[in-house]
């Protein structure tokens, strides 16, 4: 699958434009020295909104990472959306990670849930139930159910999701974005086998998180 998006996320262009324009204005009407902090801010904004293409593993049962970051949870739980036992795997994104969110599997979106909430540290497990979040129920081509949840973080203030019930997703396909620090939770069917452990660093699409039963 060819990644259809530019190396910088479309969501970032207004922020990039404003930060670069401000740095230029300070350099022109002030001094180069005064503009240095503003150029550093502009560089940070550019790196935050980078959105590189990634290789897409094609294992039929592979569950791909929906985000860049660090694994903070791998444990059996009850899926709060589908009301069933599940294997939960959570990826925490800090402000230096790519924040584009991508589909972990090939499948059809059955339902979407949005819950407003708080903005506690996304590295904490209670963020899964207390923070603002957007959940997708995806049914794979062979009938497995996967719940993929975008969770806002301590300084994240905008969850963006571009699909709804009825959408078809291909593994690695970009479907959303979270601005400035957050996490993504996956709830996988019983019998799924985790391929990562807590503390592992993962890359969206390129890292296989688990294998479906």
**Cα dihedral value 197, 200, 206, 210, nearest 10:** 10
**120: its two tokens:** 């506690």
| Residues whose CB is less than 8 angstroms from the CB of residue 69 and which lie 6 or more positions away in sequence, other chains included | 91, 92, 93, 94, 97, 183, 201, 202
Contact predicate 16/46, CB 8 Å: yes
Phi then psi dihedrals of residue 105, to 5 deg? -145, 165
Give the gyration radius of the chain's Cα atoms: 18
Helical H runs in the chain? Answer: 13-29, 32-48, 127-130
Catalytic residues: 182
Centre a 10 Å sphere on the Cβ of residue 145 and count the other Cβ atoms it contains: 19
């Amino acid at each position: 699958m060819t990644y259809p998006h530019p190396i910088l996320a479309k969501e970032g262009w207004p922020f990039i434009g404003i930060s670069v324009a401000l740095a230029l204005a300070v350099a022109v009407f002030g001094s180069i020295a005064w503009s240095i902090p503003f150029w550093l801010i502009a560089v940070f904004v550019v790196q935050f909104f980078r959105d590189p293409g990634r290789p897409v593993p094609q294992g039929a049962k592979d569950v791909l990472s929906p985000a860049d970051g660090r694994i903070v949870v791998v444990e059996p739980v009850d899926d709060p959306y589908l009301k069933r036992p599940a294997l939960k795997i959570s990826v925490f994104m800090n402000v230096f990670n790519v924040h584009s969110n991508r589909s972990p599997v090939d499948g059809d979106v059955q339902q979407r849930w949005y819950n407003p909430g708080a903005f506690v540290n996304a590295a904490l497990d209670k963020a899964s139930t207390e923070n603002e979040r957007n959940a997708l129920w995806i049914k794979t081509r062979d009938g497995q159910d996967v719940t993929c949840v975008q969770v806002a973080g301590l300084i994240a203030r905008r969850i963006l999701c571009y699909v709804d019930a009825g959408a078809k997703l291909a593994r690695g396909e970009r479907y959303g974005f979270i601005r400035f620090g957050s996490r993504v939770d996956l709830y996988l069917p019983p019998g799924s086998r985790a391929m990562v452990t807590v503390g592992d660093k993962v890359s969206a699409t390129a890292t296989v998180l688990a294998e479906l039963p």
